[in-house]
Structure 1
Amino acid sequence: MASVIAAGAERDTTFKLRWYVLFITMLVYTINIADRYVMSTVLEPIRLELKLTDGGIAFLTGVSLALFYVTMGIPLSWVADRYNRKNLLAASIAAWSVMTTMCGLSRGYSQLLLARMGVGIGEAGGTPACNAIIGDYFPADRRPMAMTIFALGAPIGAWLGADMAGAVAHAYGWRAAFLVLGVPGVVLALIVYFTVKEPKRGQLDAKSDAAAPTLKESLKFIWSQKAAFHVIMGSGVSALWGWGLMWFTPTFIQRTYHLDVGSAGAIVGPIHLVMGISASLLTAWLLARPAFVDPRRIVYLLGAVTAVTTVPSIIAYYTHSLPLATAMWWIFIPAIYFYIGPAFALGQNLAPPRMRAMFTAIALLVANVFNLIVAPQVVGWMSDYFAGPGGADAASLRTALLILAPTGFWAAFHYFAAARTIVADQERAVGHV
């Protein structure tokens, strides 16, 4: 009798622990997205102060972060697949939070550039470690739901980076927006270090590899998983499409409709918060249904939602009506959150336990090359190219964004393509569907 009670208490403790860890990692993702998204909110004030072109501000704020993010992502994930992930996560949070604060303390182009590089290095160790930890707290059939809860950090973080940071920037200047987001991250790093327990790798999988594979072995295995390739590309192109458009949207609103930084943030901020959370919770509810144990249904759902919402994403930047554009953003913006949790979870289920951080890092590398290097830099260059003698303006930026918007159809193609082999590939990775 005593042993039954003890076993029940242990299960209860495990249940509470796994949901506590999920909540804390969601907060980590919230701070991560907020620290990143605040830059797009204050893009125009920084550009005007530093007298930069659209291409120049894209390099300073997006490409500088992404170059170090993608460069450090692979080696830090190699560390996460071999050593204590909780310690790496705490150190990463502290690093990017301190460097976000330094963005607010910068007094010129060079200082801001170096601070953005530092943010990229810190953020590179965050999401892969979170994904790998969650993967060992939840079994395979619950990971899509768990990763969707984790992904709630994206809309909450985007709201903080748009609405709240926009209001602070309007009242106190763009530098203050970085200060109010950087300091809480240091506190969160301490919470992670002292309260999160490092789980045993592969404890909830039918297959558990004892030895950590080499980088070459991991890359070879990923390449052999056709579904993994399409999921990685689908999520990467979704980031190119959705987050690429979002990068310049506050600037687009300010230029096109002659609004200040606070008013522009107040338009998109509530959409991120309300519809982003709603889309994530709806996804979590759907993926908890028995029908979605079959991973093919998940990728079909991702493909359908992405394809349908690409249409309003085009209309939002085509129209000259702010009410119509706002209505289209209320439909389009939820789609950039809908895919995050399922795509992360599919990646975890298509990877053996000691490759999970590496899988996540490769997926993030693709996504961030697309959304932090290709999207802002190419949009910036195109905006400068289409500009008249007076430099980039609302019309040139509109043209550049309209060229980017149809890429949502490309992302949908990859999700549909993944369905062909995803069942067999998942069985090969974790031993069951």
Structure 2
Amino acid sequence: MSNDTGTSPIAPTGSGYRAFVLGMLLLVYSFNFLDRQILGILAGPIRADLNLSKTEFGALGGIAFALLYAGLGIPLALLADRTSRSWVITGSLAVWSGFTALCGYATSFSMLFWCRLGVGVGEAGGVAPSYAFIADYFPPKERARALAIYSLGIPLGLAAGALLGGYIAAAVNWRMAFIVLGLAGVILAPIFRLTVREPARGLYDKPVPKAPPSAAFAILARKPSFWLLALGASMSSLCGYGLALWLPSVLATTLHFDLLTLSRFIGALFLTGGCAGVFLGGWLADRLGQADRGIYAKLPAIAFVITAPLFALGISTHSPLLAFLFLLLPNGLNILWLGPVTTAVQHLVPAPMRATAAASFLLINNLIGIGVGPTLMGVAADMMTHRFGGGDALKYATLGALVFYLIAAVLMLLAVKPLRRNWVD
């Protein structure tokens, strides 16, 4: 089995080194979401300093990020499938962290918009190659758990972004929060490259005829399960990314939190609920999915049905204790899908095409989820402000968006049967 570049040694496959690699990938992924969440937790001071409307701020968290993040994902995944995935991940981390630091120097909406575009350029190359990396380091029976552990980077990064961003901004200002956390990612990039080696492609999988990575597009296009999984995840992400950006602002208004209290509250929600939900999804998928591949779609469907009403209760209450209790469970259930669905997508194509398959899935998920969700909520809130006032308008905008979780549940249920047929061992 040859490696990616023909020049770097094949990575060792011992359990200790595999755990180290997974830990490094998790750390990098945490920075991915840390750099996103500081925008949401610092919405108040950023909007006040730059005089931004809700529509403009929603665009910073949505369209500005998603345009190049989604569009460049496939080209960078093709590059990763043909060359070195570790180099692509390293370069991506350095670019998005550098632009995160530059966000701290923005003095207008347009400057911050361009910096967020740069963050999206970098993050475009981080996730899909990492999915393929993990699929080549771990055998099929362990992949959902490994991908779920990797996906812990989402709640860990969101929690760290909320806590560190809030504390640094309170101690200095919002600009210093972007600069410090961005530079930390720049420092991590060369450490990752020096310590993480390329795995052999398809090490734990059946041999398949050679085909270019671009052949993944034709394979996926013919599989209904791919479209249903991608659109189902997109409907969930539309609401999830919107809530990640706007929920801090909603809670600051309804619960009358200052910045430090808000950062602790949001950080605790992401850290406890999010980590439990992501790991539970991977564990259940590995445990139940060997007997029925449809479980990889059925588990997220069940989670989404429970998520919507609990979020509605948590957003509507004015009690901090009830808000925390109502929001804790859906903050885990709304991302439970990550381990099962990302594993399923890896099994819709042969091993050499996995990064490209993941990027194709992420293109749909991110264009709809990130591109539409945060911006849609901001636009809806601005449209309702004259009738309900600023705080209530944003609350009603987030409540209305919860219907997308129910749409996601329906799409995931429709994916169950075709996924059983389309699975590639």
Structure 1 residue aligned with 2:326: 328
* Kept in 2: contact 1:97–1:183 (CA 8 A): yes
| 8 Å Cα contact 1:100/1:115 also seen in 2 | yes
Write out aligned runs for 1:206-355 (5 A): 206-214=206-214, 217-289=215-287, 292-355=290-353
Q: What are the Cα deviations for residues 145-166 of structure 1, in whole angstroms up to 9, with x where unaligned?
A: 1101111111110100112211
Cα distance in structure 2, aligned partners of 1:362 and 1:135: 16
Report the CA distance between 1:209 and its aligned residue. Answer: 4.1
Could you tell me which residue of structure 1 aligns to residue 180 of structure 2? 180
For the pair 1:412 / 2:409, whether they are aligned, the reply is yes
Give, in whole Å, the separation in 1 of the partners of 2:62 and 2:300: 27
Return the alpha-carbon distance in structure 2 between the equivalents of residues 399 and 340 of structure 1. 27
Match of 1:71 in 2: 71
In the alignment, what sits opposite 2:6? none
Measure the CA separation in 2 of the matches of 1:297 and 1:164. 37
Q: Trace 1:18-167 onto structure 2 (pairs within 5 A).
A: 18-167=18-167
Distance in 2 of aligned mates of 1:221 and 1:13 = 30
Q: Using a 3 Å threshold, how does the CA distance of structure 1 residues 209 and 20 change in structure 2: closer, same or farther?
A: farther
Residue identity (%)? 32
- The Cα of 1:290 is off from its aligned counterpart by 5.7
Bigger CA drift: 203-212 or 369-378? 203-212
CA distance, structure 1, for counterparts of residue 211 and residue 417 of structure 2: 30
Contact 2:229 2:412 in 1 (8 A): yes
- Aligned residue for 2:28, secondary structure, equals helix
CA distance in 2, matches of 1:416, 1:393: 37
Q: 1:3 maps to which residue? A: none
User: Within 2, Cα distance between the matches of 1:72 and 1:130?
Assistant: 15
Give the TM-score normalised by the residue count of structure 1: 0.91
Deviation at 1:345, TM superposition (A): 1.1
1:76–1:341 CA distance, 2 compared to 1 (3 A): same
- Quote how far apart the aligned CAs of 1:102 are: 0.9
> Structure 1: which amino acid aligns with 2:240?
G
Asked if the contact 2:62/2:373 (under 8 Å) is kept, the reply is no
> Unmatched 5+ residue regions in structure 1?
1-9
Corresponding letter in the other structure for 1:245: L
TM-score by length of 2: 0.92
Q: Which amino acid aligns with 1:286?
A: L
Q: Quickly say closer, same or farther: Cα 1:207–1:415, change in 2 above 3 A.
A: farther
Aligned length: 416
Does the C-alpha gap of structure 1 residues 77 and 409 become closer, same or farther in structure 2, counting only changes over 3 Å?
Answer: same
Given that residues 141 and 293 in structure 1 are in contact (C-alpha distance below 8 angstroms), is that contact kept between their aligned partners in structure 2?
no
- In structure 2, distance between residues paired with 1:184 and 1:290: 39
Question: Secondary structure of 2:267's partner?
Answer: helix
Rounded Cα–Cα distance in structure 2 between residues aligned with 1:392 and 1:183: 38
- Give me the whole-angstrom Cα distance separating, in 2, the residues matched to 1:57 and 1:155: 22
Distance 1:61 1:423 in 2: 36
Matched residues in 1 for 2:290 and 2:299: separation?
10
Contact 2:37–2:158 at 8 Å: present in 1 too?
A: yes
Equivalence for 1:397 = 394
> Matches of 1:405 and 1:11 in 2, distance apart?
44
Q: Is the Cα–Cα contact under 8 Å of residues 140 and 349 in structure 1 kept in the other structure?
A: no
Match for 2:396: what amino acid? Answer: T
- Residue 11 of structure 1: CA displacement? 12
Q: 1:86 to 1:387 in 2, by over 3 A?
A: same
**Contact 2:308/2:403 (8 A) holds in 1:** yes
- What is the rounded CA distance, in whole Å, between the counterparts of 1:11 and 1:175 in structure 2? 40
- 1:360 has 2:372 as partner: no
Distance 1:199 1:30, change over 3 A: same
Unmatched runs of 5 consecutive residues or more in structure 2: 1-9
Contact 2:285 2:295 in 1 (8 A): no
Alpha carbons 2:241, 2:374 under 8 Å: kept: no
Instruction: Please give the per-residue CA displacement for 1:345-399, whole angstroms capped at 9, x wherever unaligned.
Output: 111111222321122112222222223221111111111111128x961111111
Residue 4 of structure 1: aligned partner: none
